[in-house]
Structure 1
Amino acid sequence: MANQVEHALTEEMLPLLQKECFVTIATVDFERKIPHVKAISWIYAPNGQTVRFLVDHRSRMIDNIKANDGVVLTLIANGSTYSITGSARVVTERIEQLPLKLSLIELDVKEVRDVMFYGAKMTMTPSYEKTYDAEAAAKLDRQVMEVLKKTE
C-alpha cells in the first residue's frame, strides 16, 4: 500500500481491527490545540468505513472529539505502519452493561495511508500483556468486544 491513499480499510487491515489490538489515537487537545495521543486496545471495525472503540468516560479524548472531530488512528501491522484518518463522534457517553464507566466512540474512516518510512519494514507487531488479574481481564475483554460488535 506504500504511496497510496485508500478511502477505507483494506481487506488485509479489516481482520486486524476486528479483535483486540494495540493502536494509538491522536486527537486535538480542545484547550491547548496540540496533539493528544493515547494508546488503546478495545477497538473493532465492523466494516471498512467504520472503527469503534471504548475509552474511560473521563478521558480527555471525549472533550477533544466534541470540540474537533478529526482523529488519527495509528496501527502497526503487516510489516508497516498505517495512519487511519477520519471524523469521530461520541456515540454513547456511558455503556451501562459494562462494569467500567466507558464511552463508545465511532470513527468514520476517510483516509488510510501507509506511513512507514522508505526502505524499511516493521519486523514485529507490538504486543502487550495485561498486568492485572488475568481472569478478570479476559472477562472484561469479552464483555467489551460484545458491546463493540453489537453497537449499530
Structure 2
Amino acid sequence: MANRVDTSLSKELLTLLRQETFVSIATVDHESGAPNVNAISWVYAPDESTIRFSVDNRSRIVENLKNNSGLVISFIADGTTYAISGEGTILKEKMDDVPIKLALVECTVQEVRDVMFYGAKMISKPNYEKTYDAEAAVKLDNQVMEEMKRA
C-alpha cells in the first residue's frame, strides 16, 4: 500500500506547525555531500506552503543551505511520521529582535509525504525538556516565535 503524498500542508499539520514542535531537518552536507540531520524545535508554518524555522546562525544547516537549498523536515504527528520536502531560503542570518545569534530560514513546501512503515502507527509524540533556565526559555521561545510570524 502506497503512503499518502500531498503538495501542501493539511489543516491539521498547519495547526501542529504553528506551535513549538520537535522536528528533524535533513540537508545536504556542503563538504561531504552526504545527508546531515539535526533536531530543532523553533518551527512555524504561516500558510500551507511555507514553513519557517530558526537555528543558530553558525549551524551546519545554514552553511549547507547556502550550497544546496534542498531539505527535508520530518516529524511525528497524528499517529504517523511525515517527511516534508522543499527548498530552503535563508531569510535572515541574524534575527533582529532575538538576543542570541539565530538565523531565520524559510522552506517552500514541495511535497508532504506520510513515510510511516506499513502496518504500524505512532502511539506517542517525542517529548523533550529544556535544560536551561525555564523562565529564560519561555522568554526566548516567545521572541523567536514572534519574529518568525512577522517575517
Q: TM-score normalised by the shorter chain: which range applies?
A: over 0.9
Structure 1 gap ranges (5+): none
TM-score of the superposed pair, with normalisation by structure 1: 0.97
| Separation in 1, partners of 2:147, 2:43 | 11
User: How many residue pairs were aligned?
Assistant: 150
Paired position in structure 2 for 1:66: 66
Specify the code of the residue in structure 2 equivalent to 1:90. I
Determine whether 1:46 maps to 2:46.
Answer: yes
RMSD: 0.8
Q: Deviations over 1:60-116 (max 9, x none)?
A: 111100111100000101100000000001110111211110000000000000000
Structure 2: segments with no counterpart, 5+ residues: none
Aligned-partner residue type, residue 18 of structure 2: Q
Aligned-partner Cα distance in 1 for 2:127–2:77 = 11
Query: Hey, what does 1:88 align to over in structure 2?
Result: 88
Alignment of 1:1-150 (within 5 A): 3-150=3-150
Counterpart of 1:13 in 2: which secondary structure?
Answer: helix
C-alpha displacement at 1:20, in angstroms? 0.4
Distance 1:3 1:121 in 2: 13
Tell me how far apart the structure 2 counterparts of residues 89 and 66 of structure 1 sit (CA, whole Å).
8
Other structure's SS at 1:24 match: strand
Q: Which amino acid in 2 is paired with 1:118?
A: Y
Aligned equivalents of 2:75, 2:47: Cα separation in 1: 16
